[in-house]
Structure 1
Amino acid sequence: MTSTDAYADGPGAYEPDLAALAGLLADRTRAAFCLALLDGRAWTATELARLAGVAASTATSHLNRLVAGGLLAEERSGRHRYVRLADPGIAEMIEALAARAPHRGAPVRSLTAARSRRDLAFARVCFDHLAGSLAVAVTDAMTAEGLLSWDYGPALTAAGASWLRELGITDEPTGPAPARPQVRTCVDWSEQRLHLAGGVGAAVFRHAVEESWLIHAGDTRVVRLTDAGRAALRLHLRLPDAALAPSSLSAPDGRSR
């Protein structure tokens, strides 16, 4: 028996193959694809190739690996192939890994780049829910208002369920064993703190978009908080003004803007 055979029958034979999962993300192009897909949209291979600056054939090869590995799901419409993250759990895993990953820290050479980085840290899409400092502030406020309980992990309280109904949100998961957890949390990579995810997080985000409290900023993950959104968050969660705007901007010359 070879050493390889012995390992195959050993105690690790039935353990999760964490190395295989890590290998899927151990490539900058594949990692860039997964981060881009956190916006919750379905992308074509051509769009992702353009984003990563690689040839279409290279993008297709990487996407095939991600689909085979279960990180992405694909769908076809005519001649077009679209890919998206396989499920919300994959998105939460990638966001959590991003919180642990070192940041390459490319120097900010323009005010536009500084503004883009600031806006991404303030409010962005994480697959189907809100992320960024605004999301953390909303989670903190829901806890302070007694809408979330942390006694045995994050959970929606009776007051929280009533609050959702008052807002007109009636599509959060219900029942003893919903297919998706009602309340989950993500480790926010820009804040290094928890923000609300799960069915409730998705329902709140969807409601905010439908009410135009949040609007998507073009083809990026960034979302903008509107004046109506600021008023709503002040009214419903008593969020302070400091939480309702991005941090002050530092220009490349070091001065705040």
Structure 2
Amino acid sequence: MLDRMTRSKDPVGPGLAALAGLLADETRAAFLLALLDGRAWTAGELARHAGVAASTESEHLGKLVAGGLLTEERRGRHRYVRLADARVAQLVEDLAAHVGPRPAERPRTLRESGTGSAMARGRTCYDHLAGRLGIALTDALTGRGLLRQDTGFALTDAGVRWFGGAGISLERTGRRPLARACLDWTERRPHLAGTAGAALCRHALDAGWCVRIGSDRAVRVTPVGERAFADLLGIEATALH
């Protein structure tokens, strides 16, 4: 009887338990959330971000790399790490959206309060735009018939042409969907991800429509971006901040 029960176990179970174990640590969770900015961080930068010692940081990073959530690259004396791929980013962001912000927790410092406000206004979610900025862009694309949300996220033919007309390349690689919904953990609504979301974010940063703020994921729209989003999507500046 016991042998039959052992054989009938779902083979995915051990892997799922191991993954859950990797995420069940506040320091490792802090590392993964920081790396949602899509960039490579040094081990020292992550240690300072999470407020842990170098020895502690090394142990945690080793586990995340071994578990396939991070990839690493050594350049001279520095060890750089980044999220392994877009699937890992989606997993982390989806879990963060499921948890959501904790209203009972108040910022401990003025800087912490400012960082939280900036992240809510606009940020990168791995390689696409999120926060109120991401929602404003998604709503504008939908309102103009460029993006459909009624049967899942999908660019319309007009949407594909819009990206081309705006000079934003939609070059597809691998099996990544052209458009995908990503639940925004601050707005509690989906914003645009996938190839189109990544292309829009990349173009916005390269063209100077948006700029990063400090070392966090927060971004802000520039005056150039305000004009571009108004011309291309009819978005008022007040909706972008």
1:211 has 2:210 as partner: no
CA 145–42 in structure 1, closer or farther in 2 if over 3 Å, else same: same
1:126 has 2:120 as partner: no
* Residue 12 of structure 1, CA deviation: 1.5
In structure 2, the residue matched to 1:45 is: 43
Q: Does structure 2 retain, via aligned residues, the 8 Å contact 1:74–1:81?
A: yes
1:39-118 equivalent positions in 2, closer than 5 A: 39-101=37-99, 103-104=101-102, 105-118=104-117
Q: The residue matched to 2:164 in structure 1 has which SS?
A: helix
Question: Which deviations, in whole Å up to 9, do the C-alpha atoms of 1:117-143 show, x marking residues without a partner?
Answer: 111101011111111111011111101
In structure 2, the residue matched to 1:31 is: 29
Q: The residue matched to 1:190 in structure 2 has which SS?
A: coil
| Whole-angstrom CA distance in 2 between matches of 1:9 and 1:145 | 54
CA 29–113 in structure 1, closer or farther in 2 if over 3 Å, else same: closer
1:224 has 2:212 as partner: no
Question: Which deviations, in whole Å up to 9, do the C-alpha atoms of 1:49-86 show, x marking residues without a partner?
Answer: 11111111111111111111111111122232211001
CA 7–62 in structure 1, closer or farther in 2 if over 3 Å, else same: farther
Query: Counterpart amino acid of 1:115?
Result: G
The percentage of counterpart residues that share the same residue type is 53
Q: Any stretches of 5+ residues in structure 2 without a counterpart?
A: none
TM-score normalized with structure 1 length: 0.86
* Residue 20 of structure 1, CA deviation: 1.8
| Whole-angstrom CA distance in 2 between matches of 1:208 and 1:236 | 12
1:164-175 equivalent positions in 2, closer than 5 A: 164-173=163-172
In structure 1, the residue matched to 2:155 is: 156
Residue 183 of structure 2: which of 187, 206, 228 is its match? 187
In structure 2, the residue matched to 1:141 is: 140
| Whole-angstrom CA distance in 2 between matches of 1:128 and 1:93 | 14
> How many equivalent residue pairs?
240
Q: The residue matched to 1:84 in structure 2 has which SS?
A: strand
Q: The residue matched to 2:216 in structure 1 has which SS?
A: coil
Query: Counterpart amino acid of 2:184?
Result: D
Q: The residue matched to 2:129 in structure 1 has which SS?
A: strand
Q: The residue matched to 1:119 in structure 2 has which SS?
A: helix
Q: Which has the higher helix share?
A: 2
| Whole-angstrom CA distance in 2 between matches of 1:108 and 1:24 | 27
1:197 has 2:196 as partner: no
Q: Any stretches of 5+ residues in structure 1 without a counterpart?
A: 246-257
| Whole-angstrom CA distance in 2 between matches of 1:241 and 1:184 | 25
Comparing 194-203 with 71-80, greater Cα deviation is found at 71-80
Q: The residue matched to 1:180 in structure 2 has which SS?
A: coil
* Residue 110 of structure 1, CA deviation: 4.9
Q: The residue matched to 1:75 in structure 2 has which SS?
A: strand
Q: Does structure 1 retain, via aligned residues, the 8 Å contact 2:132–2:240?
A: no
Query: Counterpart amino acid of 1:158?
Result: D
Q: Does structure 2 retain, via aligned residues, the 8 Å contact 1:37–1:84?
A: yes
| Whole-angstrom CA distance in 2 between matches of 1:102 and 1:162 | 35
Q: Does structure 1 retain, via aligned residues, the 8 Å contact 2:152–2:181?
A: no
TM-score normalized with structure 2 length: 0.92
In structure 2, the residue matched to 1:250 is: none
Question: Which deviations, in whole Å up to 9, do the C-alpha atoms of 1:23-74 show, x marking residues without a partner?
Answer: 1111000000000001111112111111111111111111111111111111
Q: Does structure 2 retain, via aligned residues, the 8 Å contact 1:121–1:190?
A: yes
